[in-house]
Chain A
Amino acid sequence: MKMKFTALVAAAMMAAAPAMADLVVPSLSYRTGPYAPGGIPYADGFQDYFTLLNERDGGIGGEKVVVPECETAYNTEKGVECYEATKGQGALVYNPLSTGITYQLIPKVTADGIALYTPGYGRTSASNGKVFSNVFNYPANYWTAASVAIKYLLDENGGDLKGKKIALVYHNSAYGKEPIRTLEELAKKHGFELSLLPVDHPGQEQKSQWLQIRREKPDNVIMYGWGVMNAVAIQEAVNIKYPMDQFIGIWWSGAEHDVLPAGDGANGYKALTMHGTGMDYPVYADLKKYVADAGKGAGAGDQVGTVLYSRGMYAAMVIAEALRTAQGIAGTSAINAQQALAGFENLEITEARMAELGLPDFGQAFKSTCEDHGGPGMARLQQWDAAAKKWNLITGWIEPDMDVIKPLIMEDSEAFAKENNITARCN
Chain B
Amino acid sequence: MFYREAGDFKTTYSEDSQTFPIKFDRIRYYAVLAVAFGVIPFFINDYWANAVFVPFLIYSIAAIGLNILVGYCGQVSLGTGGFMAVGAYAVYKLMTAFPEVSILIHVLLAGGITALVGVLFGLPSLRIKGFYLAVATLAAQFFLVWLFNKVPWFYNYSASGQISAPERDILGIIITGPNTTASAKYLFCAVILLALAWLARNLTRGAVGRKWMAIRDMDIAAEIIGVNPLAAKLSAFAISSFFIGVAGALFFAVYLGAAEVGESFGIQKSFLILFMVIIGGLGSIFGSLAGAAFLVLLPVFLKNVLVGMLGWPTDLAAHIELMIIGGLIITFLIAEPHGIAQLWRLAKEKLRLWPFPH
**Complex formed: what's the CA distance from A99 to B179 in Å?**
22
* Pairwise interchain contact A5-B297, C-beta atoms closer than 8 A: yes
- List CB contacts (< 8 Å) of A56-108 with chain B: 69-71, 73, 75-77, 80-81, 84-85, 87-88, 99-100, 103-104, 106-108
Contacts A71-B314, A174-B161 given; indicate if A12 touches B55 (C-beta within 8 A): no
* Pairwise interchain contact B51-A81, C-beta atoms closer than 8 A: yes
Residues of A within 8 A of B266 (CB): 201
Contacts A15-B309, A16-B308, A84-B50 given; indicate if A201 touches B160 (C-beta within 8 A): no
Residues of B within 8 A of A172 (CB): 149, 262
**1/0 contact trace for A169-203 toward B, CB 8 Å?**
00011110110110000000000000000101100
Q: Of A12, A108, A177, A408, which is within 8 A of B178 by CB?
A: A108
Residues of A within 8 A of B149 (CB): 172, 198
Query: Quick one: closest B residue to A143, CB to CB?
Result: B159
* Pairwise interchain contact B96-A419, C-beta atoms closer than 8 A: yes
Q: Of B257, B297, B301, B311, which is within 8 A of A104 by CB?
A: B257
* Pairwise interchain contact A174-B260, C-beta atoms closer than 8 A: yes
* Pairwise interchain contact B301-A123, C-beta atoms closer than 8 A: no
* Pairwise interchain contact B50-A80, C-beta atoms closer than 8 A: yes
* Pairwise interchain contact B161-A177, C-beta atoms closer than 8 A: yes
Residues of B within 8 A of A123 (CB): 160
Chain B, interface size category, equals 35 or more
* Pairwise interchain contact A29-B314, C-beta atoms closer than 8 A: yes
Residues of A within 8 A of B160 (CB): 99, 103, 123, 174-175, 177-178
Q: Is B13 an interface residue (CB 8 A)?
A: no
**Complex formed: what's the CA distance from A91 to B47 in Å?**
14
Q: Is B256 an interface residue (CB 8 A)?
A: yes
* Pairwise interchain contact B51-A80, C-beta atoms closer than 8 A: yes
Residue in A40, A77, A178 whose Cβ sees the most chain B Cβ within 10 Å? A77
The distance from the CB of B4 to the nearest CB of chain A, in whole angstroms, is 24
**Complex formed: what's the CA distance from A88 to B48 in Å?**
12
Q: Of A8, A106, A125, A419, which is within 8 A of B159 by CB?
A: A125
Binds A, one of B162-170, B207-215, B273-281: B162-170
Q: Of B158, B311, B315, which is within 8 A of A31 by CB?
A: B315
Q: Of A13, A16, A87, which is within 8 A of B46 by CB?
A: A87
The distance from the CB of A308 to the nearest CB of chain B, in whole angstroms, is 16
Residues of A within 8 A of B240 (CB): none
* Pairwise interchain contact A76-B297, C-beta atoms closer than 8 A: no
**Complex formed: what's the CA distance from A77 to B258 in Å?**
10
Q: Is B137 an interface residue (CB 8 A)?
A: no
Residues of B within 8 A of A20 (CB): none
Q: Is A239 an interface residue (CB 8 A)?
A: no
* Pairwise interchain contact B258-A104, C-beta atoms closer than 8 A: yes
Query: Quick one: closest A residue to B160, CB to CB?
Result: A174
* Pairwise interchain contact B179-A32, C-beta atoms closer than 8 A: no
The distance from the CB of B258 to the nearest CB of chain A, in whole angstroms, is 4
* Pairwise interchain contact A80-B256, C-beta atoms closer than 8 A: yes
Residues of A within 8 A of B308 (CB): 9, 11-13, 15-16
List 12 interface pairs A-B (beta carbons < 8 Å), by A numbering: A8-B309, A31-B318, A71-B317, A80-B255, A88-B45, A88-B47, A104-B257, A104-B258, A106-B258, A110-B178, A111-B177, A412-B159
